[in-house]
Chains A and B, each alone.
Chain A
Amino acid sequence: MPSAAADYDLDCPLVRARLHAGDLLAERGVYGLVWLDDDLIVRNRYGSIANFIEVGVPLTDCVLPVIGLEDDIRALKGCKRSMLRLPNVSTVTEAGPGQRLTLLFYSFDETVPYIMIVAASASQSELELELSRQVRARLMAEAEALAKSQELARANAELRVLNDNLEQFAAIVTHDLKAPMRAVRYLVDEIDTAIGDSDTGTAREKLHKLRRQSTRLSSMLTALLHYSSTGLSKRSVETVDTLALVKDVVHSLPHRGVEVDIAGDWPTLDTLVAPLDLALRNLIENAVKHHDRDTGSLRIVCADVGSALEITVEDDGPGIAPEHHASIFLPFRTLASSGEGMGLAIVQKMIDAAGGTITLTSHPAERRGTTFRIRWPKQIAL
């Protein structure tokens, strides 16, 4: 902008050269000028880049991005060294984005209160565009890699659990089924000997035992299959009234003189219904089955402990000796004369898979009774 009287001397070659350069830039659409009055009405314009601006109308009618800046433009008045800059603005229409422009506002003088310079945004835009594309591509690749890494970690964790289950399953098959299989073999040998001795009485007796043993073996295998096949799926998550659930379980089981009391706060929540049912069913059934008296009591209490429900199943039965506390949750471990000993193993598996825990408290030497305490998470992670 001219700042001294000499700058207006058209006889001065430097002034003429500067003005000519300005004309060239204006003709080539590099910059344009717009003169504005106090009301920000367009009074004149210069340069092809400003051709979209209509003379005689408010600037805000032609240049939408200026809407809201009127006060800031007016604040420039009298401050010749101040400028308001609105950079890199493009107005988008159905045909696509318009030319990207930078608008510069200055205060001028009494006759022309404000001037707006319209300039084409710098050509480094193409480089910035490409840089933005590359940064975005990198960010998306990083996000994808992170998601895959997390998926891999989850799959590995699942695989570890499956491997552990497989090892446990193999250990059970080789160890716990070996005894009954051995018994079957011995009985077959004894039957063979008895037949050889024409001792039909002994042979018949051994055959009877063989039948019982094979039945026992069959039921062990069935129980083992049931244990290994109990798993989780997302389809199992349902909204459940836990009070109604525990009442159903209690009413469906024989009590044999054991009085059952349900207490505490039993909420409605989205959880794995079948596993919770199975866990409660086995604990309640166990408490009744192992009770050594004609009458007894069983108390089932639920409490909200923040992120989990704490369900306590407390009986007044004979208790479980401490030396059995660790092994009682293993498959085929039973302190009763009947049953396969899979109940608590199934309970443990159900609770583990839901992300919960189960603990046992029992000191029969000090007092009667056994307390199982389940922590069942309110949010199931699958």
Chain B
Amino acid sequence: MTPRKIMLLGEIGVGKSSIARRLVFDRFESEYKPTLGVDVYSYEIEPSLNPQPGAGAKFMIWDTDGNFGDNILSHIYIKQAAGALIVGDGTRRTTLESMLHLGRSFLDAMPGRYCTFLVNKSDLTSAAAELPPALTHSQIPIVRTSAKTGENVREAFLGAADAIRRRRL
């Protein structure tokens, strides 16, 4: 089965690479290393976590350079993407606003694809920390994650994988 492509999008420094490393290698590095271009990870869902073993278990995660902004949506990187996990930094409100804009633009550019918001760095914010109302009303699912502690990283990805499989993307 051809691996499905999932994009990691969002502003610089929100934790896209940390999320990818946590998911694929269960590792966290505190030193910041900006991504240039795109880093591609190969990920296979563990059989014990895959409700349909052998079906749609392989994924490619495209961890993109945050400097692209909206331009990522017209870039060759986005071709054939089954879905996107759009990441924002829970400690920087401006990145959450950008996340909302990017999510809407992604769904405009690629209708029918799967999309989820990941509000990252939940280890640095309280669970009750208010999100911009436009974000919570956007009808795009929101998951609070922490690449540092691993909170909800795998769950967010498994949710995406399940939706992509059900929609046959």
Chain B residues, CB < 8 A from A162: none
CA distance A152 to B12 in the complex (A): 27
- Report yes or no: B13 in contact with A140, Cβ–Cβ below 8 A: yes
User: Is residue B34 contacting chain A, with contact meaning CB distance below 8 A?
Assistant: yes
Chain A residues, CB < 8 A from B91: 143
- Report yes or no: B36 in contact with A129, Cβ–Cβ below 8 A: yes
**Given contacts A85-B76, A129-B34, A92 and B39 within 8 Å (CB-CB):** yes
Summarize A's interface: helix, strand, loop or mixed.
mixed
User: Is residue A327 contacting chain B, with contact meaning CB distance below 8 A?
Assistant: no
User: Is residue B168 contacting chain A, with contact meaning CB distance below 8 A?
Assistant: no
- Report yes or no: B80 in contact with A69, Cβ–Cβ below 8 A: yes
- Report yes or no: A125 in contact with B36, Cβ–Cβ below 8 A: yes
- Report yes or no: A90 in contact with B40, Cβ–Cβ below 8 A: yes
User: Is residue B60 contacting chain A, with contact meaning CB distance below 8 A?
Assistant: yes
- Report yes or no: B42 in contact with A87, Cβ–Cβ below 8 A: no
- Report yes or no: A139 in contact with B76, Cβ–Cβ below 8 A: no
Chain B residues, CB < 8 A from A110: none
User: Is residue A179 contacting chain B, with contact meaning CB distance below 8 A?
Assistant: no
B78 to A, closest residue via Cβ = A68
A85 to B, closest residue via Cβ = B76
Chain B: minimal CB distance from A41 (Å): 16
Chain A: minimal CB distance from B52 (Å): 21
Chain B: minimal CB distance from A102 (Å): 8
- Chain A interface extent, by class: 20 to 34
A54-71 contacts to B (CB < 8 Å): 64-65, 67-69
Chain A residues, CB < 8 A from B63: 92
Chain B residues, CB < 8 A from A121: 36-37
User: Is residue B2 contacting chain A, with contact meaning CB distance below 8 A?
Assistant: yes
- Report yes or no: B40 in contact with A140, Cβ–Cβ below 8 A: no
Chain B residues, CB < 8 A from A368: none
**Given contacts A88-B37, A136-B12, A67 and B94 within 8 Å (CB-CB):** no
Picked from B13, B39, B41, B62, the residue with its CB within 8 Å of the CB of A139 is: B13
Q: Mark A80-110, 1 if CB is under 8 A from B, else 0.
A: 0000111111111010010010000000000
Picked from A67, A86, A132, the residue with its CB within 8 Å of the CB of B34 is: A132
- Report yes or no: B76 in contact with A67, Cβ–Cβ below 8 A: no
User: Is residue A135 contacting chain B, with contact meaning CB distance below 8 A?
Assistant: yes
- Report yes or no: B12 in contact with A139, Cβ–Cβ below 8 A: yes
CA distance A64 to B3 in the complex (A): 9
Q: Which B residues fall within an 8 A CB radius of A? A: 2-3, 5, 11-13, 20, 24-25, 32-34, 36-42, 60, 62-63, 65-67, 76, 79-81, 91-94
A-B contact pairs, 19 of them (CB 8 A): A65-B38, A67-B60, A68-B5, A68-B79, A87-B37, A88-B38, A89-B40, A90-B37, A90-B40, A92-B63, A128-B34, A129-B33, A132-B36, A133-B32, A133-B34, A135-B12, A136-B34, A139-B11, A140-B13
* Smallest CB-CB A-B distances: 8 pairs: A88-B37, A68-B80, A132-B34, A136-B13, A143-B92, A92-B39, A65-B40, A136-B12
